[in-house]
Each structure stands twice: as C-alpha cells, then as structure tokens.
Amino acid sequence: MGDFNDNPPDKSISQVLKVYNSLDAAANNSLYDCNSKFNWKIGEGTEFYRGEWSRFIQIIVSTSLIKNQIGSDGGFNDIHIFKPDWLLEEDKQYHQMTPNRTFDESNSAIGFSDHLPVFIVLRSSK
C-alpha cells in the first residue's frame, strides 16, 4: 500500500509490477490492484490535480489473500476511500470537493494532505 505516484494502468504498475486490474485475468497468487473498483473519471480518486482525479494511493494484494472475499459481481469490493468532510475543501475552479491540501501554491501550511487515504477490510477465512 502506498503512494505510487502512478495510476493503475501506467506501465510501472501494469507491466513492471505485473499487477492485474481484473480478478478474471489474475491467476492464483498473482498481484491484484484493489483500486480497480474506483472510477476516477466520476470523482472516485485519491488525488485531484488540475481538474482530474487520479488513484496514486494504491493497495496491491496477492489474489490468494482476498479469494474468499470475491463478490457476486466477480470483484473485490471491500476497498474504501476515506473522505470525511473535514478532509475536504471546495475547489472553486472545478466546483467540487477535493482533498484539503497540506500546502497551497504559496507553500503556506493549510490542510491535511493532497491525497485521500484508502483502506481495505479483510475477513478471516475461519
């Protein structure tokens, strides 16, 4: 888990790490990108920069870790973006709520982070 500074389709994730964004394509014990559930084009991202959402904060797991949590839709749905109101501010230029950044253009400390946290829920197979 972490800030990869790349989105899931980028070469560093898809080709270098060989992370799959579909459980259908992933074989047992391969790496799966839990963030593939999010649709950043409709605002389900972890970072907002210059009018676009991205998913730089990623959780990549072995498919064997989540095999008992695959939903009826064939996906892993126990991933969430933590975005309470106190972590957000209105971006007046783009008319939407975005992360309340740690620093603005003048480098004044103002908020919490430029990324929203992501977490997954894992259930024991016992």
The string of pLDDT tens digits covering residues 56-104 is 888 999 988 888 888 877 778 898 999 999 989 888 899 988 888 776 6
Q: Which of 21, 120, 113, 112 is nearest to 65 (CA)?
A: 120
What is the per-residue pLDDT for 120? Answer: 92
pTM metric for this prediction: 0.79
Q: Which residue has the higher pLDDT, 27 or 78?
A: 78
Domain boundaries, the chain: 2-83
